[in-house]
Amino acid sequence: MKPFENIPQLGTGIFTIREVASILRIPYPKVLRWVKEYWDGRLGKLFQTQYSWMTEGSRAVSFHTVVELYVMIQLAEKGVKTSEVLLAHQKLSRIYKTHFPFAQKQVLEEIQTDGKRIFWKRGEDIVSLNGSDQFNLNIIKIFFKMLDFGEEDVVSRLWPMGKDKAIVIDPARKFGHPIIDGKNIYPETIFEHFKAGDPIPYIAHIYQITEKEAEDAINYCKLAA
């Protein structure tokens, strides 16, 4: 595939490694290692680009890299060798003609397991992974339900607590910082009032949101802490 430009720009989101770790609830050192060693290292060499960049002294990545990180780290957690995960990424990139296959609706929909292998099949193309643990795809399927897809069936939004909660990550708004859906209000803003002792009905009133939205914001911050 041709090289592509992966630089910070409007609509792609800007997420520091610490923010990624908080959103995905994955230890910071693990996220940093994957970005530096695998994305900027092996995949970066393959696509002749760098997946991360430096912003205000911190390494940052785009929204689609955040989504791919979650999927690929989960596969590795199930005992799949990192080399196999990266090779699968390479093959799926070719088959689906995208630099971000694990942010593609069709790839996430077509993931299958026979209990021992994870595999994708499209026409005559088959990509499979072998792990050391019994495969259960529930964690990927649950993650799939937390995603919205936009143009060309690429992930467009992430609901980190599920779609029944008010917190959404939209790279087209506030550079992808978690916000209350339909508002430009950060969960942290609501949480600071809560920590200061303000009652939820009062917080909801002054910010013109529902009490449930306020509660969702508070719970998001508690989980991310």
Which percentage of the chain shows pLDDT scores above 70? Answer: 92
Residue 120 in contact with residue 129, Cβ under 8 Å? Answer: no
Write out the H or E segment, with its range, that includes residue 5.
none
Position 21 scores a pLDDT of: 93
Average pLDDT of the segment spanning 143-158: 94
Q: DSSP secondary structure string, 136-169?
A: -THHHHHHHTTEEE-GGGBEEEE-TT-TTSSEEB
Average pLDDT of the segment spanning 198-224: 96
Question: Would the pLDDT of 16 be above 90?
Answer: yes
Query: Angle formed by the axes of helices 63-77 and 82-96, to 10°?
Result: 130
Residue 194, domain CATH: 1.10.10
Position 94 scores a pLDDT of: 87
Position 69 scores a pLDDT of: 92
Is the residue at 177 inside a domain? yes
Position 58 scores a pLDDT of: 85
Q: From the CB of residue 214, how many other CB atoms can be counted at a distance below 10 Å? A: 27
pLDDT digits (tens, 9 = 90+) for 41-60: 888 777 767 788 887 788 89
pLDDT digits (tens, 9 = 90+) for 80-130: 888 888 888 888 888 888 888 999 999 998 888 777 778 888 777 888 887
Is the residue at 189 inside a domain? yes
Position 11 scores a pLDDT of: 59
Residue 8 in contact with residue 60, Cβ under 8 Å? Answer: yes
Is the residue at 34 inside a domain? no
Residues 6+ apart with CB under 8 A from 196: none
Question: Would the pLDDT of 136 be above 80?
Answer: no
Q: Tell me which of 19-23, 38-42, 71-75, 198-202 is least confident.
A: 38-42
Is the residue at 29 inside a domain? no
Work out the burial of residue 87: count CB atoms within 10 Å of its CB; fewer than 13 is exposed, 13-18 middle, 19 or more buried.
Answer: middle
- Reported pTM: 0.86
pLDDT band at 74 (very low <50, low <70, confident <90, very high): confident
Distance CA 130, CA 134 (A): 10
Is the residue at 58 inside a domain? no
pLDDT band at 152 (very low <50, low <70, confident <90, very high): confident
Residue 90 in contact with residue 96, Cβ under 8 Å? Answer: no
Is the residue at 48 inside a domain? no
Q: DSSP secondary structure string, 90-133?
A: HHHHHHHT-S-GGGBHHHHHH-EE-SSEEEEEETTEEEEEE-SS
What total of structural domains would you count in the chain? 1
Position 134 scores a pLDDT of: 65
Residues 6+ apart with CB under 8 A from 197: none
Q: From the CB of residue 25, how many other CB atoms can be counted at a distance below 10 Å? A: 10
**Higher pLDDT among residues 58 and 4, named by residue:** 58
**Token pair listed for 9:** 């720009």
Question: Would the pLDDT of 7 be above 60?
Answer: no
Average pLDDT of the segment spanning 10-38: 88
Is the residue at 11 inside a domain? no
- Tell me the residue range of the domain where 200 lies: 164-225
Is the residue at 120 inside a domain? no
Position 54 scores a pLDDT of: 85
Distance CA 64, CA 155 (A): 7
